[in-house]
Structure 1
Amino acid sequence: MGEFDDLTRPDLVGPLLAGILGDEAWRDPEVRLISGGKSNLTFELACAAGSVVLRRPPSGHILRGAHDMGREARVQAALAGTDVPVARVLYSADETGPLGVPFYVMAKIDGYAIRDVLPDGYAEDAVGRTALTNALIDTLADLHAVDPYAIGLDGYGRPTGFMGRQVRTWSRQFEATRTRPAPSMDELGRRLAAYPFAEPARPSIVHGDYRLDNVLMDPADPSRVGAVLDWELSTLGDPLADVGTLLFYWTEAGERSPLLIPAVTAQDGFPGRAHLTERYAQRSGADLADLAAYVAYAHFKFAAIVQGVYARATAGVMAGQDFGDLSGEAERLAAEGLDHWKG
């Protein structure tokens, strides 16, 4: 039995794929953990007929509302006919399915998942790195331009009061995994809860964790996104939450990147956050006057996520992945958010 067979059950999933894809070679796939997942687990299932990707929650206790694989599958299936590039969903199941937890299988897209380094010869000068940056921000603007109701995403989220609800949600998630006093996290949460976030003119599909290493870049063309991945936190709401999150993740030269966040954008030739902000404003027509508050929110949200990763890794339910010493990272991120936010 393979190392991850208990998490992926290829003896059960393989025959399902053989029927769906019409090839008996899928009955006995090999399983490999794809690195990079810090919340849900992502595996490649491969055989002579090709490769597919399986997404499932971590083992062990799961917080209510977290790791919703059904939502990931639904939004990707809905976006399949739009300008937003996504992987084709092949199969999905709830907790009554063969794994005993919700999961789905999607087509494997050829592309570069860019984290700490660029592939050799890829976007190696400022022209290529600017093209890559523009593709990333343009794809986000295109996502926000999609009418969610026109593609069957009615009921996918509650747009009214979105930001206030998000702050409350991440406050609860942090409290559920809190391990020590965190005065900066508490203060940032209080300030965000009191901030008068405006309602957007119309609801958008919000990815929830949009950043460079959550997309696959076209291996032949750095000006093209091959697929947007990791839709676990997606919903309907305020598109500026995504913009603030992307800016938080976008490390500039000379800055310290938070743990768990790749810092490839700090290399020479990558545009800074001001370029991303201007590009998004031009493509979307959005008013970005309150963007600093959304960047502060991104600090708060990611601090809560980091605390959850720390708790799950300490409990040993992340398939043996090592994320380094995260014990004080949430509080450091919150303090940074307070320092940067003057609102």
Structure 2
Amino acid sequence: MTDNPPGLDLARLQAHLGTGALTAELIEGGRSNLTYRLTDGTERWVLRRPPLGHVLATAHDMAREYRVIGALHGSPVPVPRTVRLTEDPEVIGAPFYLMEFVDGTAHRDSAALAALGPVRVRALADHLVDTLVALHAIDPQEVGLADFGRPQGFLARQVQRWGKQLDASRSREVAGIEELRERLGATLPDSPAPALVHGDYRLDNVLVGEDDRITAVLDWEMSTLGDPLTDLGLLVMYTELAGRFAGVLPGVALAPGFPGGAELIERYAAGSGRDVAQVHWYVAFASFKLAVVLEGIHFRYGQGRTVGAGFDRVGALVPLFVEHGLTALKEH
């Protein structure tokens, strides 16, 4: 058995699962829940657990993530097969779940993505949008998720929730973040019909096979029932900001052939039939949400409770997201 990776006691885990000797490695790239490759030499799994240390209420619910993945298995949205949920924190120090290991590439590097060539990059980006359309077309009741969230008043609660999480992780003053918070709350759009929302939908949160098709959509920790345009706004925001955080956070939209924000919006609108006239608000909200997430990571980093590379640079990104959110609101 190899040494324990941070946040995982392999001896206790082996005894709990009843497997042979386990080996595991932390999968780099995540900025929140911790993800590990796990094997007993025969079977391969992926294990997910909350981050070490500071955890905001409801932000890292393993049971919810496990439930939504299980519900979507076999749907038009590809997800791994769930294996086991353990909510008892005594085993490894936190709740966790296992799912099958799915082969595929998580594209986080624009240079590696660019090697596919602009035609393949464009086709992959189109498939990314089409998969989001497919997700938002799923009837929650048909997959057993009718009670997975409270769509009524969703946007107002979201602004309030992320504002509270900002307060819970506040360790410094960030210029403009309170203005962005207040303006979002004062300019709420009317939501379309509710849908299953991923909550962090972007290219590096999916696995892509050798045929450039998506083999699995991952990282469902923020999923719920709500306004589907929040997913679109987030995807557009990441695309628009790609050049500003390349090298620190994923900048795959810089790869030649990757469509711009307006093209992503157009394809989503054509596929879903939804009105996207107010998408600028959703881009601004996505910017606020990511600013809060990164501020929370910066908070944990300052306490020495965050695992992985690059966290020393996260704090500097927060003002960029705030600025982008304010600009999106002012330009419309």
Question: What is the TM-score of this pair, normalised by structure 2?
Answer: 0.93
Contact conserved, 2:198 with 2:220, CA < 8 A, in 1? yes
Aligned partner of 1:205 in structure 2 is: 196
1:111-134 Cα shifts (integer Å, max 9, x gaps): 0010014548x8622210111001
Q: How many residues align?
A: 331
- Which of 214, 218, 229 aligns to 1:225? It is 214
Aligned partner of 1:143 in structure 2 is: 135
1:313 aligns with 2:276: no
- Which of 236, 248, 255 aligns to 2:237? It is 248
Aligned partner of 2:43 in structure 1 is: 50
Deviation of the 1:320 alpha carbon: 4.7
1:96-117 Cα shifts (integer Å, max 9, x gaps): 5522422101101000010014
Amino acid at match of 1:130: R
Deviation of the 1:47 alpha carbon: 3.0
| CA distance in 2 between partners of 1:59 and 1:154 (Å) | 32
| Structure-2 change in CA distance of 1:252 and 1:7 (3 Å) | closer
| Structure-2 change in CA distance of 1:65 and 1:214 (3 Å) | same
Deviation of the 1:10 alpha carbon: 2.2
| Structure-2 change in CA distance of 1:127 and 1:327 (3 Å) | closer
Contact conserved, 2:248 with 2:310, CA < 8 A, in 1? no
Amino acid at match of 2:152: T
Q: Where does structure 2 lack aligned partners over 5 or more consecutive residues?
A: none
- Which of 167, 174, 198 aligns to 2:166? It is 174
Amino acid at match of 1:268: P
1:66 aligns with 2:59: yes
Deviation of the 1:65 alpha carbon: 1.3
| CA distance in 1 between partners of 2:167 and 2:60 (Å) | 17
Contact conserved, 2:6 with 2:307, CA < 8 A, in 1? no
Amino acid at match of 2:235: L
Deviation of the 1:11 alpha carbon: 2.0
| CA distance in 2 between partners of 1:267 and 1:249 (Å) | 13
Q: Secondary structure at the match of 1:129?
A: helix
Aligned partner of 1:329 in structure 2 is: 317
Deviation of the 1:70 alpha carbon: 0.9
- Which of 220, 225, 230 aligns to 1:236? It is 225
1:162 aligns with 2:154: yes
Q: Secondary structure at the match of 2:24?
A: strand
Deviation of the 1:7 alpha carbon: 2.3
Amino acid at match of 1:106: M
| CA distance in 1 between partners of 2:182 and 2:24 (Å) | 45
| CA distance in 1 between partners of 2:246 and 2:168 (Å) | 22
Amino acid at match of 2:231: D
Aligned partner of 2:33 in structure 1 is: 40
Amino acid at match of 1:247: V
Amino acid at match of 1:306: L
| CA distance in 2 between partners of 1:259 and 1:298 (Å) | 20
Q: Which moved more, 1:207-216 or 1:314-323?
A: 314-323
1:235-257 Cα shifts (integer Å, max 9, x gaps): 0000000000000111478x323
Deviation of the 1:13 alpha carbon: 2.5
Deviation of the 1:6 alpha carbon: 6.5
Deviation of the 1:37 alpha carbon: 1.1
- Which of 289, 292, 301 aligns to 1:301? It is 289
| CA distance in 2 between partners of 1:6 and 1:214 (Å) | 22
Aligned partner of 1:271 in structure 2 is: 259
| CA distance in 1 between partners of 2:4 and 2:304 (Å) | 14
| Structure-2 change in CA distance of 1:304 and 1:147 (3 Å) | same
| Structure-2 change in CA distance of 1:89 and 1:114 (3 Å) | same
| CA distance in 2 between partners of 1:288 and 1:259 (Å) | 31
| Structure-2 change in CA distance of 1:273 and 1:126 (3 Å) | same
Aligned partner of 2:14 in structure 1 is: 14
| Structure-2 change in CA distance of 1:309 and 1:6 (3 Å) | closer
1:1-34 Cα shifts (integer Å, max 9, x gaps): 744357223223334545xxxxxxx421111010
Query: What RMSD over aligned residues (CA atoms) do the two structures have, in Å?
Result: 2.0
Q: Where does structure 1 lack aligned partners over 5 or more consecutive residues?
A: 19-25
Amino acid at match of 1:53: V
Contact conserved, 1:89 with 1:106, CA < 8 A, in 2? yes
Aligned partner of 1:215 in structure 2 is: 206
